[in-house]
């Protein structure tokens, strides 16, 4: 047995030089990401970490619904047990309730490509290289996952070799496609069970194809049963691979007219071994949650929904599913350019089309059905999960089938070209280039400390306490229309770090003294909180301030900025001269807001449910004292016969949805084809505190509020915000 095992290991690692190069490149890139990407920035990474820490510190499996903070306790334990065994010896005080401080400004414009607040957490010096205070255990756990990723790449190669023993380039080309997937590299360098799921899914497929190639030897049946049992202990949706196992058992010797009982016995052997390894997990679920899978408890805790009637979720989620399969980092807030996803879609489409060519080279093992079945079954279970879970559209859930997909794609391209070596080299080079561009060109700028800025020729010397000096500032453009952004570029010279992070605020204050737009963020757009400031190293930020499309215009707004901490307040300003505002901020420029084109004051078009549009408004006066009354005039355009006789709500809105004045009531009388003027006096309550307040406006009926919809039908909100107004003491 020992001799046979050593022979099998030698065959496993008897690789051509190019395959060793692919593995080395993968491990090198993933290793760099494991250090460069701050800890817990990957999707659910902190929850996976808590699960592993529960095993280390408490030596027990977490139970759904009984944790003080969320973990991934619904998942089977194999990944977490292996991680705990590999890293538990490292000193760390992190427990199953470990928390990382949140960046309150993260996820700004999370659909946009860029570097603006892409980090979800605050990262102190201990959480960065060379890692201290227990964080080394988390980094070591990342390296465990890199090993699982390399195993997946290796298994992909052997999967290809099983199909093409004489076309080695296609095998290592498929492995290179897996190794060069930026999302696969990124998640291999993080804590999650998806990479081990990819390895186990590929191993089960490989074991099934081995039956097709070598016949139903008992040791191979036992091996396949063990692989399937371990897969079930890795991630629940790998259970669908049972259909691949059944198909391989049936196809290995056809369907004999006699001897079907033997075939059932072979299936029972495979499933019996799997049950011996994993059956306890399902029995535990049944005892704790009342069902074998634990999905009932998961749906109750994580906002699940019935599958029926949610087909819209698949249509809406498919673009995200595809983008997050190839490269959408963090919690999805670090996307790549659309052209990247289009390129991968074109490559995949051409590859799949090539499989339909009748003259394609045939593999040594007739396994196309089982490769395709693996992809389709995995896709099917993910689509079902999208129906029942709002967060189901995650490309990483497809990783168990990605090696099979890579093999199919290479086979299809080979059918078009019939030049396997050139194809393998092209895929390896292309995958390497895409990975370097995605990880080095988009991930790294979004997570690194900002690069050093240059000293301006004529620096300013405005000081913010003893924390920083402002040396340059620029506001652009000078004129905007409602809905357009203002960009404020500031160069800071840090003078010291702080115990707690200060935030930058940028306010646009109009002629009435109302704040019409504002932006708060940590310096470095989230990448350089003041706690990590490096004295004397200049950094340049460009703060985007989004001006609402409903802002009152024409108008002129001054641009003010400063540094503040929520409890300690604003840092005092020195050397500002006449540019220091009465509120202690620094005036750095001004912007003219011109009126939008249209026949109505403050022309706009807020579409309420494709039934009524708000096309304009006025507010008089815009500066009031508590107890005074303003007049709000709304201009409505009914778009079609109405489903209900809608009423209008108009409210002065404060913090935490506090209403400081309102005039709600019947609509003005809706007539399709006319512009309807709706005048509503609103009196402020006497207790209204000073400040700037928007006026929220919407429509409602006995059926509820009428949503505001975008041009493509998406629900945007249930109200529009107008104004704002300013309340004086």
* Per-position DSSP letters for 632-682, written without gaps between them: EEEEEEE-S--SS--EEEEEEE-GGG-EEEE--EE-S---TTS-EEEEEEE
pLDDT at 9: 63
What's the burial of 713, exposed, middle or buried (CB within 10 Å: 0-12/13-18/19+)?
exposed
pLDDT at 255: 47
d(CA 15, CA 10): 9
d(CA 520, CA 507): 9
pLDDT at 457: 87
- Strand ranges for 140-248 from DSSP E: none
Instruction: Compute CA distances 684 → 371, 601, 666, 678, 724, whole Å.
Output: 68, 23, 20, 19, 14
Longest dimension (CA), the chain: 98
Instruction: Compute CA distances 265 → 126, 228, 260, 277, 457, whole Å.
Output: 56, 17, 9, 18, 83
What's the burial of 271, exposed, middle or buried (CB within 10 Å: 0-12/13-18/19+)?
middle
- For each of the domains in the chain, give its residue range(s) and CATH number, in order of start: 2-445 (no CATH), 462-593 (2.60.40.10), 606-727 (2.60.40.2550)
CB count within 10 Å of CB 328 equals 26
- Which residue stretches of 37-134 are H helix? 45-57, 78-87
d(CA 25, CA 431): 11
Sequence-ordered list of residues with C-beta below 8 angstroms from that of 202, at least 6 positions apart, any chain: 152, 155, 156, 159, 400, 403, 404
Nearest to 77 by CA among 230, 306, 256: 230
- The per-residue b/e assignment along 521-554, b for 16 or more CB within 10 angstroms, e otherwise, is bbbbbbbbbbbbbeeeebbbbebbbebbbbbbbe
Contact predicate 617/635, CB 8 Å: yes
d(CA 120, CA 100): 10
Contact predicate 70/297, CB 8 Å: no
For tokens 């492995």, the residue is 175
Sequence-ordered list of residues with C-beta below 8 angstroms from that of 343, at least 6 positions apart, any chain: 434
Q: Does residue 390 sit in helix, strand or coil? A: coil
194-252 confidence digits (pLDDT tens)? 999 999 999 999 999 998 888 888 899 999 999 999 999 999 999 999 999 998 888 77
User: Phi/psi zone of residue 418: left (φ > 0), alpha (ψ -120 to 50 degrees), beta?
Assistant: left
Q: Does residue 217 sit in helix, strand or coil? A: coil
Q: Does residue 697 sit in helix, strand or coil? A: strand
pLDDT at 453: 93
Provide the β-strand partners of residue 551. Answer: 723
Give the N- to C-terminal CA distance of the chain in Å, as an integer. 88
Helix or strand run (H / E) with residue 561 = strand 555-565
d(CA 540, CA 543): 10
pLDDT at 42: 96
Sequence-ordered list of residues with C-beta below 8 angstroms from that of 26, at least 6 positions apart, any chain: 149, 150, 153, 179, 180, 185, 188
- Which residue stretches of 302-388 are H helix? 311-326, 338-354, 368-388
Instruction: Compute CA distances 159 → 195, 407, 649, whole Å.
Output: 17, 8, 63
d(CA 198, CA 374): 12
pLDDT at 360: 61
Instruction: Compute CA distances 430 → 328, 411, 565, whole Å.
Output: 18, 17, 47
Low-confidence ranges of the chain (pLDDT < 70): 1-10, 12, 253-260, 359-366
Give pTM, 2 decimals. Answer: 0.92
Angle, vertex CA 239, rays to CA 237 and CA 244, nearest 5: 120
């Amino acid at each position: 047995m020992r001799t046979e095992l050593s022979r099998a290991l030698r065959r496993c690692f008897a690789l051509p030089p190019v395959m060793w190069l692919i593995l080395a490149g993968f491990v090198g890139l993933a290793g760099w990401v494991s250090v460069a990407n701050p800890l817990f920035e990957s999707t659910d990474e902190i929850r996976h970490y808590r699960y592993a820490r529960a095993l280390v510190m408490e030596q027990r499996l977490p139970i759904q619904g009984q944790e003080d903070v969320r973990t991934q306790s619904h998942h089977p334990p194999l990944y977490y047990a292996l991680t705990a065994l590999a890293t538990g010896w490292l000193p760390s005080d992190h427990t199953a309730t470990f928390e990382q401080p949140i960046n309150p400004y993260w996820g700004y414009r999370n659909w946009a490509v860029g570097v603006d607040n892409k980090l979800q957490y605050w990262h102190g010096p201990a959480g960065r290289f060379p890692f201290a205070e227990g964080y080394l255990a988390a980094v070591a756990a990342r390296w465990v996952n890199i090993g699982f990723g390399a195993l997946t790449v290796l298994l992909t190669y052997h999967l290809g070799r099983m199909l093409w023993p004489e076309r080695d380039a296609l095998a290592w080309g498929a492995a290179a496609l897996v190794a060069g997937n930026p999302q696969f590299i990124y998640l291999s360098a993080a804590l999650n069970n998806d990479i081990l799921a990819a390895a186990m899914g590929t191993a089960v497929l490989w074991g099934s194809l081995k039956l097709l190639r070598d016949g139903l030897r008992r040791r191979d049946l036992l091996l396949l049963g063990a692989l399937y049992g371990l897969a079930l202990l890795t991630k629940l949706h790998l259970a669908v691979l049972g259909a691949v196992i059944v198909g391989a058992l049936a196809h290995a010797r056809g369907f004999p007219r006699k001897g079907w009982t033997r075939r059932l016995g072979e299936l029972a052997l495979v499933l019996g071994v799997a049950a011996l390894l994993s059956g306890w997990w399902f029995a535990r679920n049944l005892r704790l949650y009342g069902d074998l899978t634990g999905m009932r408890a998961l749906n109750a805790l994580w906002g699940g929904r019935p599958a029926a009637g949610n087909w819209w979720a698949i249509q809406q989620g498919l673009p995200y599913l595809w983008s997050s399969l190839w490269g959408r980092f963090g919690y999805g807030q670090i996307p790549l350019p659309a052209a990247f996803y289009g390129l991968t879609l074109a490559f995949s489409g051409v590859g799949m089309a090539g499989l339909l060519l009748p003259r394609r080279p045939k593999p040594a093992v007739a396994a196309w059905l089982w490769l395709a079945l693996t992809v389709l079954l995995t896709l099917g279970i993910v689509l079902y999960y999208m129906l029942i879970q709002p967060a189901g559209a995650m490309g990483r859930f497809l990783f168990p089938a990605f090696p099979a997909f890579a093999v199919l794609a290479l086979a299809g391209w080979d059918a078009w070209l019939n030049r396997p070596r050139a194809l393998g080299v092209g895929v390896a080079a292309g995958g390497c280039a895409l990975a370097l561009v995605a990880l080095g060109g988009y991930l790294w700028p979004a997570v690194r400390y900002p690069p050093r800025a240059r000293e301006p020729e004529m620096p300013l010397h405005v000081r913010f306490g003893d924390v920083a000096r402002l040396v340059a500032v620029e506001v652009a453009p000078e004129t905007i229309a409602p809905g357009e952004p203002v960009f404020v570029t500031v160069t800071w010279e840090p003078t010291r770090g702080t115990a707690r992070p200060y935030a930058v605020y940028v306010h646009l204050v109009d002629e009435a003294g109302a704040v019409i737009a504002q932006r708060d963020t940590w310096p470095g757009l989230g990448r350089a909180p003041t706690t990590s400031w490096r004295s004397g190293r200049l950094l340049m930020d460009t703060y985007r301030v989004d001006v609402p499309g409903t802002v009152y215009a024409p108008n002129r707004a001054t641009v003010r900025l400063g540094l503040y901490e929520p409890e300690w307040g604003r840092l005092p300003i020195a050397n500002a001269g006449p540019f220091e505002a009465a509120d202690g901020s620094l005036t750095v420029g001004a912007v003219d807001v011109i009126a939008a084109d249209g026949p109505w004051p403050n022309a706009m078009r807020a579409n309420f449910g494709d039934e009524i549009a708000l096309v304009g408004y006025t507010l008089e006066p815009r500066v009031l004292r508590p107890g005074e009354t303003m007049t709000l005039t709304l201009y409505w355009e009914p778009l079609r016969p109405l489903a209900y006789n809608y009423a209008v709500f108009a409210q002065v809105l404060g913090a935490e949805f506090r209403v400081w004045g309102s005039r709600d009531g019947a609509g003005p009388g809706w007539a399709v084809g006319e512009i309807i003027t709706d005048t509503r006096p609103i009196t402020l309550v006497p207790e209204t505190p000073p400040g700037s307040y928007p006026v929220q406006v919407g429509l409602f009926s006995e059926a509820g509020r009428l949503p505001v919809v975008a041009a493509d039908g998406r629900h945007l909100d249930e109200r529009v915000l107008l104004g704002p107004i300013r309340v004086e003491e």
